Every structure is written in structure tokens, then in C-alpha cells.
Amino acid sequence: AVHAPAPHVVVLASPGVGHVAPVAELATRLAALHGVTSTIVTYTNLSSAASLASLPPGISTAALPEVPLDDLPAGAHIGTRIVTVVQRTLPHLRALLRSLLDDAPAGGVTAFLADMLCPAALAVAGELGVPCYVFYTSSLMSLVTLLYAPELARTTTCECRDLPGPVALPGCLPLHGADLVEPLQERADPVYGLFVDMGLDYLLSDGFIVNTFDALEHETMEAFRELSDKGVYPPAYAVGPLVRSVSDEAAKHHRCVPWLDEQPDGSVLYVCFGSGGTLSTLQTAELAAGLEASGQRFLWVVRFPNDKDSSACYFGGKTTDHGDADADDDPLSYLPEGFAERTRAVGLVVPEWAPQVEVLGHRAVGGFLTHCGWNSALEAMAAGVPALAWPLFAEQRMNAVKLASEHVGLALRVNAREDGVVPREEVAAAARELMVGEKGAVARERARELRAEARKASAPGGPAHQALAAVVDRWKCAAASPAVGDAP
Ligand code: UDP
């Protein structure tokens, strides 16, 4: 018998650490558990190369060349910029896939995976006869809402925040229109149509590989299974929680670690809005004053404020994803006068990239004020740390609804005023409630239970492993019996 080479997959990661890091983790597991080799393809626009620093053997990387974006209006939505990069690099992706397909000794291309923001690339793989999948790096519920976007666009005319009733989708929490993904909030913005198209492009895939787990989304998974059994949607595979493993030496030696070592167990509130989350100047000052007034210990990852864009740091903001800001400007200079000195005994502010997985796993950390990026949410669960939900953009409001729901119960909500600002009194009250209040104690108990569920889900032979094995089996079967018209 001819020895078939190990399956080789190409995984396209959209810009941003929140996408590249889970792609790297998925590729790492595919190599470790199934001997599947992969090529991770990234974009040069907003590179996140540091997330790809230490990959095991069998995983290679390729970067699509930078494409010009200067014809986009200055205030173009981040989603518009990302999708534009995806579209403009398609010819380069096609050429790359062709050359990999011709490289039979390296395994050709068994399957192509595009992450949640680049389903526009699925058509290219389809043309070349390669089975294609979406690697969805957020909740299954948010995937369901994006699959619903084309129907929403067709059957309604108002802005979704003005819909008369909640949006009730199969197996999902009832959602207020305002809690649907933020790019669907303004029909007149070009990003609206781009996200509706994304909902259509997803249907080109042979399956969804979703970074979630059963205990978190049981009902959604059941409802989705029924729909995919009927052929409405491709099947979904829950392979999560995929959380970066703690191994990075630099992370262990970050200056916040010795500071955390000095703090009592469970006493520190970790404050971080992800790789792109950005507060206004006023909000930064209110958050500072609120943390100070709360009397709680805190570790705050501070970014440059921006008064127009809550995702400014993500794409072209002043900080890059690893925090090498302009030497002559300092995010800490935007904090209230004397703040760092007055809070020295209880707080640490870091303007650079923090080793979040390590921080959340530190015994001194007892709470997480988060923008509810999906990776941050999964990392909080994996570490058993309860949260305060402070969503900013993308699908974060929907994630906040889920995290604060009765069923999940990981997070308490932080309430903004009419003008969108969370005042200092609210920050202080929420921080105290989470760290030392009764509701916080309930959330802490739920966080511990979720940690146990997350461990069960990703244990050897557990549901995440089984789901991944099922996908790999499909790849192997497809490779063994190529579709008519494919290579010999
Ligand atoms: N992160 C980190 N240090 C920081 C900020 C973010 O390690 O200072 C990591 C965090 O652990 C998570 C990712 O960056 O894995 C952010 O992804 P998420 O989905 O939470 O939010 P996004 O940045 O995509 O909005």
C-alpha cells in the first residue's frame, strides 16, 4: 500500500491577536493529537507575528503581502478595513494555495480553514476543489446571529436597535437588537453589507470549527445540530475552549508577576480591554477615579485613549499589539494627576502588553474587568476568574449578555449612563461588588464550576478532542476519495 502523507491544512488567520492566537493553538493541537501539519497564513496589514513566535514542528507560516488601504475613508470601520484586506489579498491567496497544492511531498492541501472574519476566502479554496471550513473564534450563538444577518437585512428596514421585540434565534438567548454584532448596527455604514455577505459566505463551508464547549452553549449546539441534520447549515464542531498554554518565558518574567506575588490571594482586579479595546479620555479618567475609590487592588493594562473609536488600538491606533508606543508619548500621562503615586500601595498600571493567560492564572487575581472579547472570556473561564462585563465593539455586547446570563453567570454587568460613559461611582460599586460583594461571591462560585467544565471539555478523550477527531476523519476521507475532476 502507498503510505499517504499526513493531512496538511492551510489556516487563514484574520488580522489581530484575538484571531491569530487561537489559530496557532488549533494548529498546535492538530499537530500534537493527529499529526496534521499546517501552514498558517496571516496578513501583513496589522501583523501579529509575535503570536506565532514558538510553533512546534510541522507548522509553517506564510504572510500575504501588504495591500494599500489609503483609498478607504479615514474613519472607515475596522470591519471594513479587515474585510477589504481579505478581499484585496485573494489573488495572492489563490497563488499560494496553488503552489501548496502542487507540493505533493508536503501533503498538498487536505483542507482550507478560514477564520471567522475571512469567509470571503472560502470561494477561492472551493474553486481549487479543496474542502473548506470556517474556524469560528467566538461563540456559536454569535455565528447563528451572523448566519441570520442576510434574513435580518432582507426582512426589516429599521436599525436593529429599534426592532420591536427581541431577536429569538434557535437555541439562543433572546437578544435585544442593540446586542447583535456592532457592525450590523448602522445600515448606512458599508460595514453592514460586508457583514451580511459574511453570513452568506459562511454557507460555502463544509463545516464550522467553533471555539466553544457544551457546558457553555448546550442549547445552541443542540438546536444547531438539528438544523445541520436537516441540511440548513453545515455541521458545527465544538473544539474549545482553546486557550493558549502557559509556556512563554518572557511572559513568566513580566514585571507584573513579581508585583502579583506580593498580593494576597484573590485580591486583585485585573483590568484589560483586549488587544484593541480603547476608552475615551473622559472614560479613562472615570475608570481611574473609580478604581481608586473602590479600595480594591488592581492591575490595569492602560492604552492610549481615543475619543472617536472604541477599537482604535486594534488597527492603526497608537499602540501596536505588543505595545511599542511612540517613545515620546506615554499612555500613563492620560491618567489623573498623581494617580499612580496615590494608588502605589494597591495598584499597578502597565502601558504595555500583559501576559494575560499567566495573569488570570495567578493566585492573587480574583476578578477581571473585561471588554468581553471571546478569547478573554474563555481565558477567564479556564482560570476560574469571575468578571465584570464592559463590552466595547464587535460581538462583545452579545458576549456580555451571555456571560452575565443566569445560565453562565460568570460576569456582573457594568452600567453606562445615557451618554455611554461609565461614571466613577459605578466603577467603584461594581469593582467592590465583584471582589467582596455577595453577587461577586456567586459569580466566583460559577467561575469555579465553569473552570471544571472547561477542563472536562478539553480533557484527553473528552468532547473537544472527539469533535476535532471527527473533523480530521472527514479530511482523511475526503483525501482518500477526491471529488471527480480533482488531481489523480
Ligand atoms: N492579550 C494579552 N495581553 C494584553 C491584551 C490582550 O495577552 O495586554 C490577549 C488576551 O489574552 C487574548 C487576546 O489578547 O487572548 C485578545 O483577544 P480577545 O478575543 O479577548 O479580544 P480582542 O483583542 O480580539 O478584542
Q: Summarize pLDDT for 49-106 with one digit per residue, the tens.
A: 667 878 889 999 999 999 999 999 988 999 999 999 999 999 999 999 999 999 888 8
Kindly state if the Cβ of 107 falls inside 6 Å of ligand 1: no
* Entry pTM: 0.95
Q: State the pLDDT at residue 487.
A: 47
Residues 193, 465: Cα–Cα separation, whole Å: 36
Residue 107: the pLDDT is: 81
* DSSP string computed for 237-296: EE-------S--HHHHT-THHHHHHTSPTT-EEEEE-TTT----HHHHHHHHHHHHHHT-
E strand map for 110-241: 111-115, 132-136, 208-210, 236-238
Q: Which positions ≥6 away from 35 have C-beta within 8 Å?
A: 6, 58
pLDDT mean values, one per 10 residues, the chain (488 residues):
77 93 95 96 78 86 95 93 96 97 88 97 97 98 98 97 96 97 97 98 98 96 98 98 79 91 98 94 97 98 92 60 52 91 95 94 98 98 98 96 97 96 98 98 98 97 97 92 54
Nearest atom in ligand 1 to 394's CA: 25
Residue 18 CA to ligand 1 center (angstroms) comes to: 6
Per-residue burial over 79-102, b = 16 or more CB atoms within 10 Å of its CB, e = otherwise = bbbbbbbbebbeebbbebbeebbe
Whether 115 sits among the annotated catalytic residues: the reply is: yes
- Does 387 contact ligand 1 (Cβ within 6 A)? no
Tell which atom from ligand 1 comes closest to the C-alpha of 370: 20
- Determine the residue of 19, 248, 349, 376 to mutate for testing ligand 1's pocket, defined as the one with the most ligand atoms within 8 A of the Cβ atom: 376
Catalytic, 324? Answer no
For ligand 1, atom 2, which residue shows the shortest CA distance? 356
Cα separations in angstroms, 413 against 195, 307, 400, 404, 422? 27, 23, 8, 7, 11
The number of the ligand 1 atom at minimal distance from the alpha carbon of 138 is 19
**Residue in 448, 471, 393, 447 with CA at minimum distance from that of residue 138:** 393
Cell digits for 422?
461609565
Q: Which atom of ligand 1 is nearest to the CA of 356?
A: 7
The confidence score (pLDDT) of residue 3 equals 61
Say which DSSP state 22 is in. H
Buried b (16+ CB within 10 A) or exposed e, 45-72: bbbbeebbeebeebbebebbeebeeeee
- Ligand 1 center from residue 129 Cα (angstroms): 35
Which strands make up the sheet holding 37-43, listed edge to edge? Answer: 59-64, 37-43, 8-12, 111-115, 132-136, 208-210, 236-238
Q: Give me ligand 1 centre to Cα 371, in Å.
A: 10
Using the Cα atoms of residue 257, residue 259, residue 262 and residue 263 in order, give the sign of their dihedral: negative
> Which has the closest alpha carbon to 56: 84, 26, 81?
26
Active-site residue, selected from the candidate residues 8, 34, 77, 115: 115
Protein residue closest via CA to atom 17 of ligand 1: 18
Q: What is the dihedral sign for C-alpha 253, 22, 389, 285? A: positive
Indicate if ligand 1 lies below 6 Å from the C-beta of 375. Answer: yes
Active-site choice (19, 34, 362, 371): 19
Residue 435: CB partners within 8 Å, gap ≥ 6?
267, 269, 294, 296, 366, 367
For ligand 1, whether the C-beta of 354 sits within 6 Å is yes
Nearest CA to ligand 1 atom 11: 356
Contact 434, 470 (CB under 8 A): no
The Å distance, Cα 355 to ligand 1 centre, comes to 9
CA of 229 to the centre of ligand 1 (A): 35
Report the atom number in ligand 1 closest to the C-alpha of 353. Answer: 8
Instruction: Read off the C-alpha cell for 189.
Output: 455604514
pLDDT of residue 169: 97
How does pLDDT run across 227-249, given as a tens digit for each residue?
Answer: 999 999 999 999 999 998 766 77
pLDDT at 433: 98
pLDDT attached to residue 488: 43
Question: What is the pLDDT at residue 4?
Answer: 66
Parallel, antiparallel or unpaired: strands 347-350 and 59-64: unpaired
